[in-house]
Amino acid sequence: MKELLRPSRLAPGARVAVVAPSGPVVEERLQAGLDLLRGWDLDPFAAPHALDRHGELDYLAGTDADRAADLQRAWCDPSVDAVICARGGYGAQRLVDLLDWEAMRAAGPKVFLGFSDSTTLHEAFAVRLGLVTLYGPVAAGIDFVKNARAQEHLRATLFAPESARTLTSNGTALAPGRARGITLGGCLALLATGYGTPHTRPGARGGLLLLEDVGERPYAVDRALTQLLRTGWLDGVAGIALGSWAQCGPYEELRPVLADRLGTLGVPVVEELGFGHCDGALTVPFGVTAALDADTGTLTLDEPALR
């Protein structure tokens, strides 16, 4: 695993495209998110199909072709400095094969921000573009619109990333120790279902794996982790940082699953690092070298997430 190319940080006046590659978007939340970005002296706009709804599949924000076209058009627009997802949900897997990755590579690096279902796109941006991406609050998400901690950490990451190099856990060490590696990860279910596809890395060897999920019962978390273990995807992972497990059942029931599946790998595992589907979610970069210290509960980036 190698370090990826860091895009440039944002500056006042930067143009930001908001796209909906996954689930349908609530218009009021999107407008609130756009207003917040304008308050940061950015120049945001919603992609043409950001508020679409698929005519038959109501869990999708419009057709696959239109969602893919919005993402590709925004990325290839030289006036756009950052592309931010409006929300998660489901659907990114359906459009990732429709994108012209050669054209997107030719467009050059820029900031990509998304979380949850966008895990599929984070992997694809790493594999196809060799680019650092940001996993954090999205433009039409409740956390982004209403939570000051999430807003402040994302803003710092975008504008002054040197001030957001260390993340500190609220929990304890599931397994002690220290490790260094390249950050990667996202939503556990998406990583498990993406295994073996053309836009997903073959494994996490040499990486610091950041994992979280939402709405998965403990047995389903066990199933996804077991899938990654059986395929060898976790072979050689340097360390693991766990984020939120919202709606995954009581944590006292989930923790033994995480300990059973991950605690025996012989690598440090940090709990509750504060990213994912939680109030005040922190923004984490994928593709940068970092140090994980399970004993102090910290993840420290060698360099800022953005240049």
- Which entry of 22, 49, 116, 118 is annotated as an active-site residue? 116
| CA dist 222 → 128, 178, 217, 248 (Å) | 30, 25, 9, 11
Alpha carbon of residue 131 to chain centroid: 13
Burial bucket for residue 8 (CB in 10 Å: 0-12, 13-18, 19+) = middle
C-alpha span between 7 and 261 (Å, rounded): 35
3-state secondary structure of 295: coil
Question: CB of 195 within 8 A of CB of 227?
Answer: yes
C-alpha span between 192 and 220 (Å, rounded): 11
3-state secondary structure of 59: coil
> Residue ranges of the alpha helices (H) in 234-296?
251-262
Q: What region does 182 belong to: left with phi over 0, alpha with psi -120 to 50, or beta?
A: beta
CA atoms within 13 A on the CB side of 135: 32
- Which entry of 212, 216, 271, 272 is annotated as an active-site residue? 212
Q: How many H-runs (helices) and E-runs (strands) does the chain carry? A: 10, 14
- Which entry of 122, 153, 199, 277 is annotated as an active-site residue? 277
116 is catalytic: yes
Query: Strands 239-246 and 269-270, how do they pair?
Result: parallel
> What's the token pair of residue 161?
């990333």
C-alpha span between 80 and 295 (Å, rounded): 41
Other CB atoms within 10 Å distance of the CB of residue 5: 12
212 is catalytic: yes
Burial 67-84 (b: 16+ CB within 10 A, else e): bbbbbbebbeeeebbbbb
- The residues carrying an active-site annotation are 116, 212, 277
